[in-house]
Copies of this chain bind each other. A is one copy, B any other.
């Protein structure tokens, strides 16, 4: 059976960079946005649309007068994208040793016993990492104040948690669902961290 590493990660924590380093060191295939591109090819949907569908749970909120919010599941919305995503993740895991970033791959591939890593950080470090290490102005929050960017980071992470919990029934970032959880506020040299982690695979 192939060796599979899955990386769950808080936005801004450097999870993708750690994943790339790990794949390089171990000589494993690396899959992240490639999954979205492959779904686009197979479904003729745009990558942007898929990215959106693939990262949000399929619900809309109905605030009602009791003060509580109910969520209605819309059964067809994005279901094809989810099915394709599952199928592609399984295919990729069957091809070769690999590192897969996000997308609940730890849960989808649970029968293959992947090595499940969760990467997180504190608010200050996530903000700093976004500003300094992002590859584009959007992720850098170039037009935003620190407060605005911190809020956006928090929103993206809340959305990731919601997506993960909806599709897996597990707690996103809850230690029991991972083999290793790493705080990159302290372990901030991601190449060094990858070298250490690689010895455990």
Query: Residues of A with Cβ closer than 8 Å to B?
Result: 115, 118, 120, 122, 173, 175-176, 178-183, 185-187, 192-193, 195-197, 199-200
A158 to chain B, nearest CB (A): 15
Contact B187 A193 (CB under 8 A): no
How many monomers of this chain does the complex have? 2
Contact B175 A187 (CB under 8 A): no
Contact A180 B178 (CB under 8 A): no
Query: What are 5 A-B residue pairs whose CB atoms fall within 8 Å in the complex?
Result: A118-B175, A178-B181, A180-B183, A181-B181, A196-B200
Contact A187 B192 (CB under 8 A): no
In angstroms, Cα B25 to Cα A71, docked, is 53
- Give the 10 A-B residue pairs with the shortest CB-CB distance, closest first: A181-B181, A179-B186, A196-B196, A179-B183, A196-B199, A175-B181, A187-B200, A196-B200, A120-B175, A173-B175
Interface of A is mostly: mixed
Contact A192 B199 (CB under 8 A): yes
Task: Give the nearest-CB partner of A185 in chain B.
Answer: B179
Residues of B within 8 A of A120 (CB): 175-176
A53 to chain B, nearest CB (A): 28
In angstroms, Cα B196 to Cα A98, docked, is 21
Task: Give the nearest-CB partner of A175 in chain B.
Answer: B181
Contact B187 A178 (CB under 8 A): no
In angstroms, Cα B115 to Cα A152, docked, is 29
Residues of B within 8 A of A200 (CB): 187, 192-193, 196
Residues of B within 8 A of A195 (CB): 199
